[in-house]
Structure 1
Amino acid sequence: MEVTHRAAVLGSPIAHSLSPVLHTAGYEAAGLTGWEYSRIECVAEDLPRVVGEADPSFCGFSVTMPCKFAALEFADEATQRAVEIGSANTLTRIDGRWRADNTDCEGALAALRELLGDAIPQRAVLVGAGGTARAVMCALRELGAREVTVVNRSDRSAEYAELGRGMDVRFIPLDAHAQRAAMDADVVVSTVPAHVLGEHAKALGHAPLFDVIYAPWPTALAVRAASNGYPTVGGLSMLAGQSYAQFEQFTGVAAPREAMRAALLAHREASQREER
């Protein structure tokens, strides 16, 4: 079969990326022939060259760390949400120009809805304040959250002023105040590496939990929240959720969401069996 349309995920390291599983399953389920999705090892400094010199068959790129900031800077135009979040995980070729978008907020929204159903998280605790946290903040705002307590080593209130519009956003350190905030919260979202919260899991696992980590899973925080009787959702839900809009932007076809998510879960199960 001749390949006529291409897409790829850019980042470093990239060998572990599960994006090809999602997009390839989408092509098959949507009946798209001639489409190919690959991984390309790429650091931030090389992104302008890799994308700028891409074969005309490339319709788009998924972008992961450490290239998300470079992707936004490189693009000819950007969506409002990419500008608000301050980084891009999607580059789509449109009439010879590159448009940046950030669909991570859709991924976070999908994960939160899976966790909470139709409930509105009036009070949320958000652990971390990096790029992923900014996407989660957008999702919490869309869900109608009223208060967001950001647990972070430094106070970055000024950076979150626009993202947190309409919400009461406060920053606190990871101390006893964080435990009290978690106990009062409708949801806790962690956006930091699993090892960072190992010793603090007991303090924070007091509400329904969305942890953006998907490997290794479950995290210590997820185990603690579950042991306290709360539902948990991991990063695979966000990964799947952010891929649907990417797929649609690249192909112009509605994403076969159930097939893409099913392929991702099947891949995880197969990987877990191999590890046993």
Structure 2
Amino acid sequence: MTHEHGAEGGAGRRAAVLGHPVAHSLSPVLHRAAYGALGLDDWRYDPVDVTEDDLAGFVGALDASWAGLSLTMPLKQTVLPLLDHVEPLAGVVGAVNTVLVQPARGTPVLTGANTDVYGLVTALGEALGPEAPAPRRTAAVLGGGATAASTLAALAQLGCTTPVVYVRSLARVGGLMRAAHRMGVEPRYALLDAAAREVPGADLVVSTLPPRAADGLAVDLDGSTVDGVLLDVAYDPRPTALSVAWRRAGGAVVGGERMLLHQAVEQVRLMTGLAGPVAAMDEALQAALGVPAHPAAPSKG
């Protein structure tokens, strides 16, 4: 697999989103909109399909023309040993979704960061509002992967340090348990089969399951009454079956695209040194999705 890593002239920098698959990613829409709003007309941002096996070669060939990388699954943990530095939050969570490329003599210095936590906290804040009771004491997390670890850190920032984590197999939560221990969070772990009985009573529910993986739970929630906020990280299809079921049961819903937006805003800040233009990025995201965004969130006016 061959990648072109050099600059194409001018003072512009390069950035990209890496993943496998990556063609569906909305990150180029968000970052390109940011560059346009910030006047960074000679910057470029591309999707690049990179597997776990390809990652070391790609990262090792980065030069000073690069500003940074966005990482999607399955690369958020694979990248860790390839970095020169890992920011404390990313180290505690055990997942890097942002790589900053900093020019140095010889090979650039690579620093790993995690903006997923920021994206989750900010997206949930849109639904909770500034006057929401704090801390929110009961929370549930669906799924046990890298995004679940970021979710535990986000919930801790919102005052939820004893969430319940629902997974398909209790034998596969070792990585998440270690991450929780590092961040001082004490979850209870339960099988996903129990979620339909228990999550209706939670103040905050975050589903980190892949697209359609929560469809069965959505069916099981039929007839339930809920009063909490759901953030479904999946946003394709939109709305997800879980979001529809949760709203029908009386709860508030934050679409996964809100997390995507806000983590990208923070990535832009880290890569460019300029504040991410939220309004321009949000407008581009809504246009790409073809429907109004976050109907459950309070209006910003």
Per the normalisation by structure 2, the TM-score is 0.83
How far has the Cα of 1:191 moved from its partner?
0.7
Is this contact kept in 2: 1:45–1:70, CA < 8 A? no
Residue 134 (structure 2) pairs with residue 101 (structure 1):
no
Q: Pick from 247, 259, 273: which aligns with 1:238?
A: 259
Is this contact kept in 2: 1:3–1:36, CA < 8 A? no
Q: Secondary structure at the match of 1:244?
A: helix
Q: Which amino acid aligns with 2:122?
A: A
Q: Measure, in 1, the Cα distance between the counterparts of 2:47 and 2:219.
A: 38
Q: Secondary structure at the match of 1:151?
A: strand
Question: Superposition pairs for residues 237-276 of structure 1, below 5 Å?
Answer: 237-269=258-290
| Aligned counterpart, 1:274 | none
Residue 216 (structure 2) pairs with residue 199 (structure 1):
yes
How far has the Cα of 1:196 moved from its partner?
2.3
Q: Pick from 155, 165, 168: which aligns with 1:140?
A: 155
Residue 122 (structure 2) pairs with residue 110 (structure 1):
yes
User: Structure 2 unaligned runs (5+)?
Assistant: 1-8, 292-301
Q: Which amino acid aligns with 1:233?
A: V
Identity score, percent: 40
RMSD of aligned alpha carbons: 2.1
Deviations 1:96-148 (CA, angstroms, capped at 9, x unpaired): 20001111111111211112223232100111111011111110001111431
Is this contact kept in 1: 2:80–2:96, CA < 8 A? yes
How far has the Cα of 1:55 moved from its partner?
3.9
Q: Measure, in 2, the Cα distance between the counterparts of 1:3 and 1:223.
A: 47
Q: Pick from 66, 69, 73: which aligns with 1:65?
A: 73
Residues 164 and 78 (structure 1 numbering): CA distance in 2 closer, same or farther, change over 3 Å?
Answer: closer
Q: Secondary structure at the match of 2:268?
A: helix
Residues 47 and 146 (structure 1 numbering): CA distance in 2 closer, same or farther, change over 3 Å?
Answer: closer
How far has the Cα of 1:252 moved from its partner?
1.1
How far has the Cα of 1:253 moved from its partner?
1.1
Q: Secondary structure at the match of 2:163?
A: strand
Q: Measure, in 2, the Cα distance between the counterparts of 1:257 and 1:11.
A: 24
Residues 6 and 194 (structure 1 numbering): CA distance in 2 closer, same or farther, change over 3 Å?
Answer: closer
User: Structure 1 unaligned runs (5+)?
Assistant: 271-276
How far has the Cα of 1:3 moved from its partner?
6.2
Q: Measure, in 1, the Cα distance between the counterparts of 2:82 and 2:27.
A: 22
Q: Secondary structure at the match of 1:37?
A: strand
Is this contact kept in 2: 1:137–1:163, CA < 8 A? no
Q: Which amino acid aligns with 1:104?
A: D
Deviates more, 1:124-133 or 1:111-120: 111-120
Q: Which amino acid aligns with 2:168?
A: R
Q: Measure, in 2, the Cα distance between the counterparts of 1:33 and 1:197.
A: 41
| Aligned counterpart, 1:23 | 31
How far has the Cα of 1:200 moved from its partner?
1.8
Q: Measure, in 1, the Cα distance between the counterparts of 2:79 and 2:233.
A: 21
Residue 243 (structure 2) pairs with residue 222 (structure 1):
yes
Per the normalisation by structure 1, the TM-score is 0.90
Residues 268 and 3 (structure 1 numbering): CA distance in 2 closer, same or farther, change over 3 Å?
Answer: farther
Q: Secondary structure at the match of 1:162?
A: helix
| Aligned counterpart, 2:203 | 186
Q: Which amino acid aligns with 1:124?
A: A
Deviates more, 1:70-79 or 1:199-208: 199-208
Q: Measure, in 2, the Cα distance between the counterparts of 1:164 and 1:186.
A: 21
Q: Measure, in 1, the Cα distance between the counterparts of 2:210 and 2:66.
A: 32
Question: Superposition pairs for residues 113-132 of structure 1, below 5 Å?
Answer: 113-118=125-130, 119=132, 120=134, 121-132=136-147
Q: Pick from 145, 152, 162: which aligns with 2:167?
A: 152
